[in-house]
Structure 1
Amino acid sequence: MILSSFASQASNTNILVIDVDKKPLSNIVVFAEPEIKPTVAESTLSVPYTAIMDQVNRQFSPHILVVNKNTNIDFPNSDRIKHHVYSFSPAKTFEIQLYREKKLDPRLFDKVGEVILGCNIHDWMVGYVYVVDTPWFGKTDGEGNINLALPDGKYTLKIWHPLLQEADQSFTQKITVSSHTNITINVKEAMKPRYAAYEDDDELDDY
């Protein structure tokens, strides 16, 4: 995407996120907020695309979905059982009652922040949508890397993951992009332990 408030040239900015033991961290949301708010053609801003948060094997898929503000998200159910998706998060409160095969209208996510998803039938199902207000975002790969094609300019880098400690959730780093850049983000504290896995078999299989 070319933004009119920036030079047309974009530079590859490779970002590596590592933990306190210098090991790479995967699935970390990384996003770059420009110092100068970009101006984009009205047609680009007003037509939200549709992202997908599926339900596969009684889990949300992907576990973490990051989207730009004003994105529509579709919630299909690829399981052979019914689910009841909900969220009480301030950034998006909604409920999709028991459903399996019916086609549903997508939900618009127009507020920035963390949205925690659950299922009223399967308590272990937890997923996350993280909404950002910038077109430059993504998640780190299995080696802890993410590459953002940033137009030249000044940005604030931020990260997010549900298991990051508070000190790392509030991480910010100012960067100036004018050429290919390599950046390493060092997480300050050990991540929170993962929740215990629930057994897949339960008395509600018919749903």
Structure 2
Amino acid sequence: MNRSVLVFLALEVAYSTATLGIDTISAISTSGFQCLHSNNYAFYIGRVGQSMANVDAYLFPCHSSGCGSAKQQVSDTVNALRNGGAKFGTLWLDVEIYNWGSDLKANQQFILDMVAQCKSMGVTVGIYTNNNNWQNIVGIDWAGVSAYPLWWANYNGAANFNNFKPFGGWSKPAIHQYSGDVKGPCSVGNVDMNWYP
């Protein structure tokens, strides 16, 4: 699967009658953004995905009471991407421990609802998780979405599938996220490293 991950950065912007901004293809540091802000630049537009043949997106679902349903969150995400002209291959559904409830059946249904909405919108879907997350959120043996590719998160530093232990109906992953928060190539910082065969 030839895919890169599309990561979204949302910036809060204050608007006035006249607003200055910049666009660039270069990376900008935090101190660079702070300097721009202090010089009255209030927005930034960065180029993403240019010249990359394979771009994916991932959705980190929200489970607070004010969030929409599983289907609504997928619908809102896909519509925002499409309305913004973003082209992406797979929408990876991020299933990791963070604000999921303790009801395994409810969590299973939430995931099934996200997948169903992806399919109804013609979106290719994959699942991002690992053994520990899966065990705690839906139960290690639940195989309700094993027909979809697995993006396996295991920071063992090895760009291979050698230490993968089957779970959730998956006999092997499609992608391995093997290291996190590292200085990436091309002066891009705090990235997660991924590998596929």
TM-score (norm 2): 0.23
Counting helix residues as a fraction of each chain, which structure ranks higher?
A: 2
Higher strand proportion (structure 1 or 2): 1
The structure showing larger relative contact order (alpha-carbon pairs under 8 Å, at least 6 residues apart) is 1
